[in-house]
Structure 1
Amino acid sequence: MLVSIHPKLPMRNRNKTEDYYVNSLGFEKVGTVDYPEYLMLQKDDIEIHFFLFKALNPKENYGQVYIRTNTIDSLYQSLLNDNVAIHPNGKLELKPWGQREFALLDPDSNLLTFGESFQ
């Protein structure tokens, strides 16, 4: 039985990635051991892992995660209130497939799309 998934995304700078996810998005570090080339972060019931990839070209990064939420309006508003940049093409809107979604890019251009079923 599969019970969860923890996507692994590339990062160029561990400190910048940790700062963005913790201070801008409200994630917390997972575990008590600090690995210089690996980072595990958690918020609510999701966990995202990051691996060091110093040579990553953000313009060529196709890392993406789709995160489901049941509080899309308050999440979106809280990010706006905290001046977190929303992807220029990712403003909150109802999609033809019945999801309300918005998206943002992390410091390494990993695309984070947040969605809630609207039906």
Structure 2
Amino acid sequence: MKKTIPALPVQDIKVSCAYYTNRLGFTIRHQEDTFAIAVRDDIEIHLWQSCDKSWKWRSIFLALKPIWTGAESFIAGTASCRIEVQSIEELFEEYKKQEVLHSHDTKIEAQYWGHKEFPVVDLDRNLLTFYEVN
């Protein structure tokens, strides 16, 4: 194996692409109505729009026709990924200025398994954990 590409569910591709570009420093390499590829350095993240809202109308009949498409709108914001970086302190300061850290008291934390890391959330609340190996 050589590479993995996280695919994160979002509510609105256009809005998410703007957020990944303007706040997280990514470039949008490819964009369609319900799919986009965001890149920064060697990192690639796929964004896909979880846009099926038909589950709302079927909710009273779940026993007869369960939710099944895998693209239901409530999935946006339920994913996470870990991204290895260099110069974690610089990235942390950049994201602190952009106000995208997980919370106002987020800091870089050393983990017992040898990583320094901090969490960020995207516009839909998908969790991106950036880490550096000590």
How high is the TM-score relative to the length of structure 1? 0.85
Q: 4+ residue runs of structure 1 moved beyond 3 angstroms?
A: none
Aligned equivalents of 1:78, 1:52: Cα separation in 2: 27
Q: Which moved more, 1:45-54 or 1:91-100?
A: 91-100
Aligned equivalents of 1:24, 1:7: Cα separation in 2: 19
Secondary structure (helix, strand or coil) at the match of 2:4 reads: coil
Unaligned runs of 5+ in 1: none
Name 2:27's counterpart in structure 1: 28
Please tell me the root mean square deviation across aligned C-alpha atoms, in Å: 1.7
CA contact (8 A) 1:12 1:52 kept: yes
Aligned equivalents of 2:50, 2:107: Cα separation in 1: 29
**Letter paired with 2:26:** F
CA contact (8 A) 1:10 1:56 kept: no
The counterpart of 2:34, out of the listed 19, 32, 37, is 37
CA contact (8 A) 1:11 1:56 kept: no
Once the two structures are TM-superposed, the CA of residue 90 in structure 1 deviates from its matched residue by 4.2
CA contact (8 A) 2:81 2:128 kept: yes
**Letter paired with 2:16:** T
Count of residues in Structure 1 that have an aligned counterpart in Structure 2: 112
Aligned equivalents of 1:101, 1:90: Cα separation in 2: 10
Aligned equivalents of 2:23, 2:50: Cα separation in 1: 22
Name 1:50's counterpart in structure 2: 47
Name 2:18's counterpart in structure 1: 19
**Letter paired with 1:56:** F
Deviations 1:30-74 (A, max 9, x none): 14xx4101011100001000111031255xx43011000111000
How high is the TM-score relative to the length of structure 2? 0.76
Once the two structures are TM-superposed, the CA of residue 5 in structure 1 deviates from its matched residue by 1.6
Name which structure has the greater RCO, CA cutoff 8 Å, separation 6+: 1
Aligned equivalents of 1:104, 1:41: Cα separation in 2: 16
Unaligned runs of 5+ in 2: 52-72
